[in-house]
Structure 1
Amino acid sequence: MTLRLRTLLIGLLSVLLAGFVAGALLIYMGFYDISALRQHTKPVFHLLDFAMSRAVEVRADARPPADLHDEGRVHGGLALFRRHCLRCHGAPGVSPDALAFGLTPAPANLLHAGRSWPPDEIFWIVRNGVKMTGMPGWAYRLTDEEIWNLVAFVKAMPGLTTRAYAELAAGLPQADASPSPLVSAQPAQPARAMRPGDAHAGRQATQNHLCATCHLIPGIVGANQHVGPPLGGIAGRAFIAGVLPNTPENMVRFLRDPQAIDPLSAMPDLGLDEQDARDIAAFLATLDQVQGK
């Protein structure tokens, strides 16, 4: 081994050792914030997202049934989706349950998955789950046939309007029409004293209400795939949802009840109280630059 090669190897090993020691020290000092109220840093989020995508792509090899798009499969998948998936992932015009707002990483909006993920990869994720995300593996709770029904519905969901989804759900038997309760009802919280909207609090509320699972939002780490318009530059837009003049008061109205403004909007009612809506509106009012410009 030449002196130059030996020097390079020693240098590389020294860098790796220094990186390992630095990482171990940061972990020991509790430097990384593991609070579920704070999203992963951007590098960590994208590393985990890429690792998940590659792991699924490598392992997914199930052959979809020939009748995957059959109407009976889609309807069967809808009933399963409402009982097992809706509370975390939501649906067209339907918000996830409060439980999902506390999960990190945030549960993905499945409209993009239905549009772009191959059926075998959706099947693998549903069947096996994903470590450290809150996504359970359903292999011991649902049959493969039922999981394929779920896949059929997820693939069909991007083609459903808010109204079409509601009509399909209303047509289910009563036992399947509503998701089963996950937690007992919580007592009503006392009303908060109202204050002007606070952009800093609104940024946190925007993250915790899963807005980044549908929208690309400057400064907030979230899913790489989006089903709603990007929010960079929203402060400079003339209208909200194309129909309502963009004022702080109107933004609060839209955030609290989007379908009262636009009945065809896929934006769900997130159950925002007045203060959270004011804070989020204040944060959105700071987004006067289109991301990337």
Structure 2
Amino acid sequence: MDMKNLHWTAVAKIVGLGACLLMAAGAVFVWSGVYNVAASKDHLRITTWILTLIRERSIATRSFMIDAPPLVDDGMIRLGASHYEAGCVPCHNRPGKEINPIVGGMLPPPPDLMEIGKHRPSREIFWIVKHGLKYTGMPAWTNMRRDDEIWSVTAFLASLPFTAGEYPDLSGLTRSQANPGEEPVNGGALTACGRCHEREGTGTNGDRVPRLAGLPEAYLFRSLQEYADGNRASGVMEPVADPLDERSMRELAARYSALRPSAEKPAAAPDAERLRRGEAIANRGIARQGVPACLSCHSGRQSQQFPVLAGQHAEYIEEQIRLWQRGGRIGTPYGRIMAAVAGALEEGQIEDVAAYLASLPRGSAPAPIAEVNR
């Protein structure tokens, strides 16, 4: 064939015919069922190579613009270990332990995460935990609005293998044994809660976990209902609350409301000037920014639907205010009220008022100045 005299239309016909033949061959291959999709047999090498390349390039591209926060905070790592124990252990097992033979039969099998921090930047770990991976059995995070929860898991995974030996303590496993004489709620729900929250004589598993002891029963019951209904976002608490019936929710709320606050050792005293600024916000609000006094609702003298914030962890208060600012807690009427308040606060003001509220004695708070002066 004289290629010099070959007309472009003939070239087009040849290319078109080749494409049709390839499509026909592909259709026959698919419909024949000749490719083995059983998890008991590995992919062809070329298939594995293609799937791996697609996965890694997708992760790298979609995580490239993510900015990771500092991930060395002990409270964040503890919270991440607690979340890992609740959601990741069934497939990945605890650090240093062999993966369950049943899930090991998945294709691909769940990876050993002991050294994931050495192989992946934290932004990639975050993206995988948040979005999951198709065709691997790795699910997306239960609620996409809780980046703070996902970053805590990322912090824990990035800390491995250095924290592996501390896992029972970090995850709360050493706290989860039932106390003598403690009656179970709904088959042990109270024991499960105690892995993160207070038990009789113990505090919380880190400063990112809210203190529940002594909070109003109505508020605690409403919170469980909102988690179960998906109105209050949490990739951790929604799966916990969903299986509970109303009776179990009421019993848990009553138990925690009646629980005596533990005498935890206070953290280092905050700066006196910060406490003074925080006290002003908590007692008088910030009129020019439309911020009401925090203690006009949260001193324990108002509706039982409002949590008492005196003695709550400063880190927890800060993160919840930032969560409202990001739109992560706007699924309820009370949440929308707080979102408007939180949106008016500046970062320094958040830290000031959280420090002051945390410095107050647990369980009650002084009435706001505006209320005292009536």
Aligned counterparts of 2:29 and 2:84: Cα–Cα separation in 1? 41
Unaligned segments of structure 1, at least 5 residues: 181-293
- What residue in structure 2 maps to residue 62 of structure 1? 66
TM-score (normalizing by structure 2): 0.42
Q: Deviations over 1:59-91 (max 9, x none)?
A: 1233212x3121111111111111111221234
TM alignment of 1:95-174, pairs within 5 A: 95-140=98-143, 143-160=146-163, 163-166=165-168, 168-169=170-171, 172-174=174-176
Q: 1:171 to 1:36 in 2, by over 3 A?
A: closer
Q: 1:91 to 1:12 in 2, by over 3 A?
A: farther
Aligned counterparts of 1:4 and 1:87: Cα–Cα separation in 2? 64
1:90 maps onto 2:93 in alignment:
yes
3-state SS of the aligned residue for 2:35? coil
| Partners of 1:56 and 1:125 within 8 A in 2 | yes
- What residue in structure 2 maps to residue 252 of structure 1? none
Unaligned segments of structure 2, at least 5 residues: 177-191, 197-238, 240-374
Q: 1:169 to 1:15 in 2, by over 3 A?
A: same
Q: 1:171 to 1:131 in 2, by over 3 A?
A: closer
Shift of residue 11 of structure 1?
3.9
- What residue in structure 2 maps to residue 29 of structure 1? 32
| Partners of 2:96 and 2:114 within 8 A in 1 | no
Aligned counterparts of 2:75 and 2:172: Cα–Cα separation in 1? 16
| Partners of 1:114 and 1:154 within 8 A in 2 | yes
| Partners of 1:79 and 1:172 within 8 A in 2 | no
Aligned counterparts of 1:105 and 1:70: Cα–Cα separation in 2? 33
Q: 1:6 to 1:153 in 2, by over 3 A?
A: farther
Shift of residue 19 of structure 1?
2.4
Q: Deviations over 1:15-34 (max 9, x none)?
A: 33322222211111111111
1:45 maps onto 2:54 in alignment:
no
Q: 1:93 to 1:142 in 2, by over 3 A?
A: farther
- What residue in structure 1 maps to residue 334 of structure 2? none
- What residue in structure 1 maps to residue 272 of structure 2? none
Shift of residue 111 of structure 1?
3.0
The number of residues matched between the two structures is 178
- What residue in structure 2 maps to residue 226 of structure 1? none
Shift of residue 138 of structure 1?
0.5
Q: 1:5 to 1:154 in 2, by over 3 A?
A: farther
Q: Deviations over 1:147-203 (max 9, x none)?
A: 000000111113245x4445645665313769x9xxxxxxxxxxxxxxxxxxxxxxx
| Partners of 1:128 and 1:139 within 8 A in 2 | no
| Partners of 1:40 and 1:105 within 8 A in 2 | no
Q: Which amino acid aligns with 1:68?
A: L
Q: 1:169 to 1:144 in 2, by over 3 A?
A: closer
